[in-house]
C-alpha cells in the first residue's frame, strides 16, 4: 500500500500492520498480549531498561489483571514512551544517514 511512501510513512504503516496482526477482531490487545508483542517485536528498544522506574511502571501496568484492552492509540503511546527512554534511541540519534 505504501510502496512509494516515505521512510517515515512506511515505518508507521509497519507499526500499524504489526499491531493489527496481533489484535483481536475488535482491533484491541489484552494486556498480556501487549506485553508479549513488546517483548518479541520491540526487544532492542526495551533491552537494558528493566531497572528504570518508568519502564517498571509501564510493564507492571501490563501485568495487572484487568478486562481493559489496549487500543492502537494506547499501544502507540506505549511504544513511543518505551522508545524515548531507550538507550538504543540515543545510539540512533548519533547515526547520520546520507541520501
Element (H, E) at 41: helix 31-41
Q: Which three cell numbers stand for residue 79?
A: 511504544
Percentage of the chain lying above the pLDDT 70 cut = 94
Task: Please state, for a pLDDT cut of 90, what percent of the chain lies above it.
Answer: 43
| Residues 18-24: contacts with CB under 8 Å, at least 24 apart | 19/72, 19/75, 23/72, 24/69
Q: What is the pLDDT of residue 97?
A: 65
pLDDT of 10 higher than 80: yes
The C-alpha cell that represents 17 in the structure block: 500492520
Does domain 7-98 fall under CATH 1.10.238.10? My reply is yes
Q: What is the domain partition of the chain in residue ranges? A: 7-98
**Confidence (pLDDT) at 1:** 55
When the pLDDT of each residue in the chain is averaged and rounded to a whole number, the result is: 87
Q: What is the pLDDT of residue 2?
A: 65
**Per-residue confidence at 36, pLDDT binned at 50, 70, 90?**
very high
First to last CA, the chain: 23
Amino acid at each position: 500500500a505504501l510502496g512509494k511512501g516515505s521512510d517515515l510513512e512506511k515505518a508507521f504503516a509497519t507499526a500499524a500492520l504489526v499491531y493489527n496482526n496481533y489484535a483481536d477482531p475488535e482491533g484491541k490487545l489484552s494486556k498480556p498480549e501487549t506485553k508479549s508483542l513488546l517483548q518479541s517485536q520491540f526487544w532492542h528498544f526495551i533491552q537494558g531498561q528493566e531497572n528504570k522506574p518508568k519502564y517498571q511502571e509501564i510493564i507492571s501496568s501490563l501485568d495487572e489483571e484487568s478486562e481493559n484492552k489496549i487500543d492502537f492509540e494506547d499501544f502507540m503511546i506505549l511504544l513511543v514512551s518505551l522508545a524515548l527512554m531507550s538507550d538504543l534511541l540515543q545510539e540512533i540519534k548519533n547515526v547520520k544517514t546520507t541520501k
